[in-house]
Structure 1
Amino acid sequence: MYGRDVLSGDWRRPRRGQIPEVPAELDLVVEDAEGRFCGAVVACDKEAVTLEDRFGRRRVFPLSPAGFLLDGGPVTLVRPAAASKGPRRSASGSIAVEGLRARVARESRIYVEGVHDASLVEKIWGHDLRVEGVAVEFLEGVDDLPAIVAEFAPGPGRRLGVLVDHLVPGSKESRIAARVSGDHVLVVGHPYVDVWQAVKPAVLGIPAWPDVPRGVPWKEGVIAALGWRMDPQEAWRHILGRVGAYTDLEPELLGRVEELIDFVTDPTADTQP
């Protein structure tokens, strides 16, 4: 009697030892399990791996069991036992450009909601943005986005990427995003109430970000729940000071910022109709 089909069942939840574990060494080429992104490993920590495709686009994926395809077969990527030797990396995990001279700024821009978002993007992606010549500005609130888009006048070679907090279905933010999105405007967002939550709690030595009751200002509620004797600006400086690299941030933010950088630096954006 033959055994049952080896491909039957849910191979994404394999029995121990069923799916091979492969060290995520630099330059190893894999696909995500859905087959939507193929790239070489450029960085790996204990929770996530960064892949870079042949166009230089990067995506961050969690180290999930059977989360990748290698030579067409499912594998589980694991962190290499020892860090591989290679070129110096920037805080975002990209290859650092030695002796960098900032490129003249493109007409395309990235907007974020506030100064905290801008300072976090600068700390992690500042090197990449200077290499690409991309400026980051902040909105002071998503309500002003339609007027800003109209004034910016996006078009070929002049793209606008926008990062929005708490972009979830049915929210005010999602309705505004739908109004302004188009061929030359990309609005993406993370699910967090505030960008503070995009910093992994373990980085701050806390088990989780506290729940804040409705009607209580979120930042002040977090500070009170954590027992911090700080005002919001002091608290943000404390949080930002603990962030050193992309591994300190949640994948939901990492992927969205990299998506925006890809969008505004796409060479086809410079092609006039």
Structure 2
Amino acid sequence: MRRYDPDLTPSWKKPAPVPEVPAEPDLVVEEAGSGFCGAVVRCEAGTVTLEDRFGKHRVFPLVPRGFLLEGRVVTLVRPASGAPARPSRTASGSLAVPGARARVARAGRIYVEGRHDAELVERVWGDDLRIEGVVVEYLEGVDDLPAIVRDFRPGPDARLGVLVDHLVPGSKESRIAASVTDPHVLVVGHPYVDVWQAVKPSSLGIPAWPAVPRGEDWKTGVCRALGWPENTGAAWQRILGAVRSYRDLEPELLGAVERLIDHVTVGTHGG
């Protein structure tokens, strides 16, 4: 006697099977219906929470064929209890490349204002920068930026990117940035008085960055207002230690740094 499949749907009408993928922390997927792309931050019974590069959270149901992973349709499932998380992303949210060796340094550079800026960029983008061969240097201020650019001698194979603090209309920094017109130099910035403010207050467990009276040293004033010892070096280590990934930074800094990396590595990233 012939045996029949209890499902009488013709095989050519059945959807092709798709892989089931555990919704592990930091796995980056796209929700098929909305196009929302983000990293997994939480997976509970029947739902998954994604966080995009700007810190926005959205909750989606775990439905069959509901997500895209690197362009392929997948079904997300809840990870097995106790299963180890897969380190699939760098601190910047980029796809990790296990065992990758650092690339020989490019002629191009990224300049930042100070040591704290450089350390924060290294904390979040360090893995990406080493793979791309991009060196970050700090200037101790940008007052002499036009002369620094001339000395660097930028060109098509030696592009220069500059990150400026407090780059807002009418500021001294905005006037200096506007004076740099070389097509191989990109000057971008963030609106904060100091790069400390680019770290989200929630990551530090404070309600907000305090307002510091004009004329008072800003970093010392922050320490005083928060009840921290007035030791700015120790305060910075406390702040830097709270940064684990791009999720701990404000969108204005994220966008600025990624524009600089794209500028310096033009040709690799399509320019």
TM-score by length of 2: 0.72
RMSD: 3.1
Would the alpha carbon gap of residues 40 and 260 (structure 1) be closer, same or farther in structure 2, given more than 3 Å must change? farther
| Alignment correspondent of 1:28 | 30
Amino acid at match of 1:190: H
CA-to-partner distance for each residue in 1:32-66, whole Å, 9 max, x for gaps?
A: 9xxxxxx983535578513xxxxxxxxx47459xx
Aligned to 1:90: 90
Distance in 2 of aligned mates of 1:262 and 1:268: 8
SS at structure 2 position matched to 1:183: coil
- Alignment correspondent of 2:116: 116
Structure 1 runs not aligned, ≥5 long? 1-24, 33-38, 51-59, 65-79
* Residues 143 and 200 (structure 1), Cα distance of their counterparts in 2 relative to 1, 3 Å cut: same
Query: Partner of 1:166 in structure 2?
Result: 166
- For 2:218, the equivalent position in structure 1 comes to 218
Map 1:245-264 onto structure 2 (within 5 A): 245-264=245-264
Once the two structures are TM-superposed, the CA of residue 268 in structure 1 deviates from its matched residue by: 7.8
Contact 2:262 2:269 in 1 (8 A): no
Aligned residue for 1:110, secondary structure, equals strand
CA 1:197–1:232 in 2, change beyond 3 Å: closer, same or farther? Answer: same
Counterpart of 1:237 in structure 2 is 237
Q: In the alignment, residue 131 of structure 1 is paired with which amino acid?
A: I
Contact 1:26 1:40 in 2 (8 A): no
State the identity as a percent. 63
- TM-superposed deviation, 1:27: 4.0
CA contact (8 A) 1:154 1:185 kept: yes
Residue of structure 2 in register with 1:145 after alignment: 145
CA 1:250–1:156: 2 relative to 1, 3 Å: same
Shift of 1:181: 3.5
Which amino acid is the alignment partner of residue 30 of structure 2?
Answer: L
Q: Which has the larger radius of gyration?
A: 2
The SS at the match of 1:180 is coil
d(CA) in 1 for partners of 2:158, 2:145: 16
My pick for the range that moved more, 39-48 or 102-111, is 39-48
Matched, 1:227 2:230: no
CA contact (8 A) 1:160 1:185 kept: yes
1:41 aligns with 2:44: no
CA displacement, residues 102-132 of structure 1 (integer Å, 9 cap, x when unaligned):
1000011000000000000001000000000
Q: Which amino acid aligns with 1:256?
A: A
Residue 158 to residue 229, structure 1, CA distance change in 2 (3 Å): same
CA 192–129 in structure 1, closer or farther in 2 if over 3 Å, else same: same
Structure 1 position 97, deviation (Å): 1.2
Partner of 1:127: 127
Q: What is aligned with 2:183?
A: 183
Q: Which runs of 5+ in 2 are unaligned?
A: 1-26, 42-48, 59-75, 80-84
The CA deviation string for residues 139-161 of structure 1, in whole angstroms up to 9 with x for no partner, is: 10010211110100111111000
User: What is the rounded CA distance, in whole Å, between the counterparts of 2:126 and 2:156 in structure 1?
Assistant: 25
How many residue pairs get matched?
A: 219
Partners of 1:98 and 1:115 in 2: CA distance? 28
Cα pair 2:39 2:50 within 8 Å, conserved:
no
Amino acid at match of 2:39: A
Instruction: Pick closer, same or farther for the CA change 1:44–1:193 going to 2, 3 Å.
Output: farther
The alignment partner of 1:94 has SS state of coil
3-state SS of paired residue (1:43):
strand
> C-alpha distance in 1, partners of 2:105/2:56?
33
User: CA 1:136–1:179 in structure 2 vs 1: closer, same or farther (change >3 Å)?
Assistant: same
Q: Which AA in structure 2 matches 1:247?
A: R
Equivalents in 2 of 1:183, 1:63: separation in Å? Answer: 38
Deviations 1:175-214 (A, max 9, x none): 1101114320000000100000011111111100000000
Determine helix, strand or coil for the equivalent of 1:262: helix
